[in-house]
Chain A
Amino acid sequence: MGMLWSASFRHLLRHPVQLLLALLGLALGVATIVAVDVATGSAARAFELSLDAVQGPATHELDGGPAGIDEGVYGRLVRTLHRVRANPLVEGYVTVGDHALQLLGVDPLAAAGFAGDGNDATQSRAVPAGPGSALGSGAALAQWLSAPAALLSRDTATRLHLGVGARFSVDAGGHAMTGQLLGVIGGDADGLAAVMLTDVATAQEWLGLQGRLTRIDLRVPADPAGAAELAQLSRELPAGVTLAAAAQRARAGADMTQAFNANLRALGLLALLVGLFLVYGTMSFAIVQRRRSLGILRALGATRAQLLRIILLEAAGLAIAGGVLGLGAGWTLGRELVSLVSRTINDLYYVVAVNSATLPAAEPVLAVGAALAVALLAAAAPAWEAVYSAPQLTLRASVLEGRARRVALAALGLSLLLALACGGIVLASGRSVLAGFAALVLAMLSVAATTPALLYAAARNLRRWRPLDWPPLRLALDGIAGSLSRTGVAVAALAMAVTAMIGISIMVDSFRESLRDWLTHTLQADIYVGAPGPGFARPERRLDAAVVTDLVRVPGVAGYTASRRAIVDSDRGPVVLDAMDITPTLRAGVDLTAATADVWRQLQDGALLLAQPLAYRLNLSPGGVLELTTALGPRSFPVAGVFREYGNDRGSVRISRDVYRRAWRDDAVSTLALKVAPGVDVDAVVGRLYAAAAGRQALQVDTPAQVRDISLTIFERTFIITRVLNWLAAGVAAIGLLSALLAWQLGGTHELALLRVLGLKRAGAAVMIEAQTLFMGLVALLAALPAGLLTAVLLVRVVNRRAFGWEIDLHLHPVQFTGAITLAVVTALAAGAYPAWRMAHAPLSQDLREE
């Protein structure tokens, strides 16, 4: 047994490059999925922490919709509740320098009681030390209550270059305010990384929300008296104020990024899939390579069980080592990806700052487990075959290759079955995103399964092609066809990576084109004016009424549309509401995909238009009904139409502004869309607009071109991650190809050595090897071109539709294939470089001696 182990060990040591590549491929495959999980998990964790920070120990919350809650409601609650504790909050977003921060107005006196006032002397409980520690003096509290004072986490203060006591200016919806940093919160203040804390009064003044609270958190004790008070409270709630369990809010936040995270995870899984192919290839080559030594060991009397055990243990060891390396690499990579992910989340969803990376448990375990399982499977099949063949047969490669050809044919049949299954799933699975991804995986596997047969057929047919009638080339092609067991899997892995690249490239381009078309279509005004600031649909992003009056009177402005954007509660969760008057001229800018007959009249009467993603998510179509929580309580609104929208992956609701103003008692204007009179210079009007608001409110003024640029920039940022992951998968495939080529070509050097003895020049030998690898790259590409198209269709029509509800037009362009062609060619040439160099430089005698 000791001899067997040392034989196995020495074999690995004799092929250090292959060992390294196997480990690298395994590690990279595992690393990619771990990285994705670290990145999305950390962003989700940061969101939870900030939610915790904002929510504290609340069990319930009161929400007043876009106009907030009258602060008098809080006063009444405080005077009447004995058991339920209430905590008033004013929330919004502000900007300090370039940094977007969530502004949180709190009342330290209410918060103190809210955190828990142990009533029972016998009760003992750990009490958290909050940022209140930074207010540790009466003078500080006096300042907190009487002046615009703020607290920041230590890290945030450092990032903003603010020292304790420093005065700073802060922009709240275009209004410049001044504050003073009263203290910093140190310690474990993760959740407050993007939060600025002030008194309720300061937050109200900064955000222009005097008299209103954004939210009232409630802590209801879990006893009958608490429940009774809560019931009483819910009976006496003013209209427009909704009571919800705190958990619902967390869920809404998680829901927002769910589709986004699912897509990222799917890309990570793609990398893992390619990685698993590589694991399979590596392990099976390793065993196939050793058929000779296994045969000798069998002939020397080693039992089948002994050999199997050693091979499987070796495979397991490799898989575990690669998996652990992959975990480490994934962790490192994930921390880099975090910034990309959190930027996208900031662009699209909410302000979040990720300070620390979190390693989620489930997926890395799954990745390492899958790698281990595949490694064992990959090793077991050829090992079983090798040890159960008659020892002398094992020594002959031709037997094996004959079998490989039969396997390639079988794989072709399997490919057909996989394709059928893929189609079946797409047709049968309805709206499931998961099934969409499953179909995608099946399609990719189906492509992979065709490649060995394609490779064999191409090699066999090409050698008969007269222009290529150069003996070394013919030999090279024969070599490929004759060693399908080694080349087939490597080409399959490459084909999958190239397929993914084509599919994603087409999908992203199609999406971009659809977005561009939509923007051109939608942006009908000449100038857009809004209040600057972070946060999507934030109530504080509104134009002062007096400023609006002056802006629309600026000379050169021929017409305008005012709109208000708000987030309101519906019976199906929070939705983004765009309240605007869609005048007949503006109707052309609304691309209706479904509508009732008299959609515009209905809209005037209070019906809704739903953006495609929302309509899909809520499964609503014209004629349906959506219940929205208005200031007057819940009201049912008919759905009159569905329109295209790419601006927001959650989808928005359009409603007539008059209806909105009445139902939500909110006259604020978020954006003005201005039409400039014919012949008037737009830039001149923009200058006049700034001048009209000067000293009162900073404006964010954009032309349609700027809106388009901003939208497309955000779009590109969103897909950076996709591209990074795609190239990672390609890297995994390249390593697989290189490793396969090494195993195969280094094994076959004696043939080439013989050719060189017969007169083939060094350069000729190198060219021959590069030709072989290039050929394999081209075959992979050949398989990937139609497969990539199919994948693109699946991504656009199935996955994206199901995940986000978008309908995207397929846009095809030759440029979309350049990445894939580059990948296939460069990977192939790079993989051949080392064997070619080695062949050109190795002394002939050594390779011949082995014969």
Chain B
Amino acid sequence: MAGVRIRSSPFLPLLLALGLCGCQRHGPVATPSADDAPGMQADRLSVLRAADQPGYALADAPRHFEFPQDHGPHPQFRHEWWYLTGQLTAAGGATFGFELTVFRLALAPQDGPPSATPASAWRTRQVYAAHFAVTDVSRGRFFHATRYAREALGLAGARAAPFAVRVADWSVTEVPSVRTADAAGQEPLSWQLQAADGDYRLQLDLRSLESPVLNGEAGLSRKAPGAASYYYSMPHLRASGTLTRAGAALSVSGSAWLDREWGSGSLGADQQGWDWFALNLDDGSAVMFYALRDRDGRRDTHSAGTFVDAAGQATPLANDDVRISVQRRWKSPRGGQYPAQWDLQVGSQELQLQVTPLLSDQELTTQPRYWEGAVEVRGRRRGAAVTARGYVELVGYAQAQAMPSTPSASTAPGH
């Protein structure tokens, strides 16, 4: 591990404000908002941007996907995520957006040197982070919370069979009773999601009979010359369950989208951010597209996506296939300006969509801040009116983060 460069990494902000010692109440460095403390850069872009490190498995060629094994973790890769977003409607008609995103990060390709004394069960090289957010549209409220844990003592972890991924008290686990293969030999997905903090508690059953959609080149998604990952999606999970709001239980149902991605490479330093769209159309089709932005504001040619028709047939979308124009912008009270309405056209699919956030402020005040929110969509496909619901992730718009000044901190140059 010679010559490890000290530069931005997923844990920099997390550790900048570590409450290791909540002791320092005296002379705190005031930072502008609440979530800076544990603001691990658990947005997809930041994870991808960390320095390359040799020793990990690389996503450099298409591979054969195997389910349900590939729902489980791939610890030989540096990073991995389980990304669940969706929209729910309560019995009374109230609309909610939700996201539960879990990140796995390997801190080193191999285990550390064995210690002379019996090793503590806390020793690990895998750490997990998760974000849970609820967009309470009728109350105009956006709530989010964070969890971090190492893969030890059952604090966090993932497994393929029976499927489970957990960070602290939040989990997505397979419901064992329905785990039977259907006629086509395809295993139906039947998971249960549990997450709670603050005033919100979400318990959802997630089901799907469809096969995962492989994005990019048969599941190999290239985001920069040196950065590719394995990427599949399940755009049509049926969701039903209970959302408890301040102690009052609401019956909810709707649809959820699963994004799964793992790899070891990192993005180019000139890639500034992206706009990531995941939209379910009411005709049964779905659109995923990520528009990467370079530092000069231009769209990066690695931008790409997938169109999935109602029959589940996937068509890759290249950068040129999709035109996006920003209709409106929203200024974050915490600084920075985000696009807040888009006109999205996919010429090859004769698709024209107007994408509007359900709530302007769906910014996660983590470090760095990013916007991830529920959107509603109106438009036309092949001349017919369509509507859609979905999620958009906007990264790299928050102004330069007000990092706590750390002149007093220095760090060992690795070993």
Contacts and interface: CB of A to CB of B under 8 A. Distances in A.
Interface stretch (B85-93, B108-116, B233-241): B108-116
A71 interface: yes
B145 A78 contact: no
A145 B197 contact: no
B174 interface: no
A274 to B, nearest CB: 38
A53 B15 contact: no
Nearest to A187: B408
Given A56-B21, A130-B23, A79 B169 contact: yes
A130 B40 CA distance: 15
Contacts of B23: 49, 52-56, 128, 130, 191-192
B412 A181 contact: yes
Interface in B91-131: 107-108, 111-113, 115, 117-125, 127
A189 interface: yes
B177 interface: no
A210 B153 CA distance: 12
Contacts of B117: 175, 177, 205-206, 208, 210
B35 A117 contact: yes
Given A135-B411, A147-B112, A130 B21 contact: yes
A770 interface: no
Nearest to A195: B21
A201 B124 CA distance: 9
A240 interface: no
A572 interface: no
Given A139-B414, A210-B121, A109 B148 contact: yes
Contacts of A110: 148-149
A583 interface: no
Interface stretch (A2-10, A18-26, A119-127, A395-403): A119-127
Interface in B1-56: 1, 4, 6-7, 9-12, 14-38, 40, 50-51
B142 interface: yes
A106 interface: yes
A200 B18 contact: no
B201 interface: yes
A121 B24 contact: no
Contact of A131 (B21, B112, B155): B21
A108 B18 contact: yes
Interface in A500-538: none
Given A143-B414, A184-B410, A191 B122 contact: no
A60 B31 CA distance: 26
B6 to A, nearest CB: 5
Given A119-B198, A135-B11, A136-B12, A211 B409 contact: no
A719 B123 CA distance: 47
B154 A119 contact: no
Contacts of A117: 34-35, 37-38, 145-146
Interface stretch (A80-88, A230-238, A345-353, A671-679): A80-88
B34 A124 contact: yes
Contact of B38 (A113, A164, A183): A113
A647 interface: no
A130 B20 contact: yes
A264 B364 CA distance: 54
B410 A130 contact: no
A249 to B, nearest CB: 14
Nearest to B1: A139
A133 B363 contact: no
Contacts of B112: 146-147
B64 interface: no
Interface string A182-204: 11111111111000010111101
Contact of B37 (A106, A115, A142, A191): A115
A164 B411 contact: yes
Residue of B22, B112, B121, B144 ringed by the most chain A CB atoms within 10 A? B22
Given A75-B154, A128-B19, A201-B122, A136 B169 contact: no
Contacts of B38: 112-113, 115, 117
Contact of B16 (A133, A185, A191): A133
Contacts of A109: 14, 127, 148-150
Nearest to A83: B197
B138 to A, nearest CB: 17
A137 B148 contact: no
Contacts of B28: 126-129
Contacts of A133: 15-18, 404, 406, 408-409
A189 B24 contact: yes
A772 to B, nearest CB: 58
Interface string B284-325: 000000000000000000000000000000000000000000
Contacts of A58: 22
Contact of B14 (A83, A112, A164, A180): A112
B201 to A, nearest CB: 7
A44 to B, nearest CB: 16
A652 B234 CA distance: 65
A111 B18 contact: yes
Nearest to A199: B122
Given A114-B22, A119-B143, A130-B23, A180 B153 contact: no
B412 A146 contact: no
B17 A115 contact: yes
A187 B6 CA distance: 21
Contacts of A135: 11, 15, 18, 411
Interface in B135-191: 142-150, 153-155, 166, 168-169
A183 B411 contact: yes
Contacts of B376: none
B365 interface: yes
A143 B9 CA distance: 14
Nearest to B27: A188
Nearest to B362: A121
Contacts of A137: 4, 6-7, 9, 11-12, 411, 414
Interface string A144-177: 0111110100100000000011000000000101
B382 interface: no
Residue of B26, B118, B142, B197 ringed by the most chain A CB atoms within 10 A? B26
Nearest to B369: A121
Contacts of A748: none
Contacts of B34: 116-121, 123-125, 127
Interface in B351-393: 361, 363-365
Contacts of B414: 137, 139-140, 143
A482 to B, nearest CB: 62
B24 A128 contact: yes
B27 A187 contact: yes
Contacts of A75: 153-155
Given A56-B23, A145-B125, A188-B27, A132 B16 contact: yes
A114 B17 CA distance: 11
B20 A111 contact: yes
Contact of B150 (A113, A121, A145, A165): A145
A57 B21 CA distance: 9
Contact of B115 (A131, A134, A205): A205
A398 to B, nearest CB: 65
A72 interface: yes
Given A136-B16, A175-B117, 11 more contacts: A56-B19, A112-B14, A113-B147, A115-B38, A118-B34, A123-B34, A147-B113, A182-B412, A186-B409, A188-B26, A190-B26
Interface of A: 49, 52-58, 71-72, 74-75, 78-83, 106-121, 123-143, 145-149, 151, 154, 164-165, 175, 177, 180-192, 197, 199-202, 204-206, 208, 210-211, 225
Across the A-B interface, give the 7 residue pairs with the lowest CB-CB distance, nearest first: A115-B19, A118-B34, A132-B18, A186-B408, A56-B22, A146-B112, A138-B9
21 contacts: A108-B20, A111-B18, A111-B20, A117-B145, A119-B198, A123-B34, A128-B24, A128-B29, A134-B411, A135-B15, A136-B12, A146-B107, A146-B111, A146-B123, A154-B408, A180-B415, A184-B408, A191-B23, A205-B117, A210-B120, A210-B121
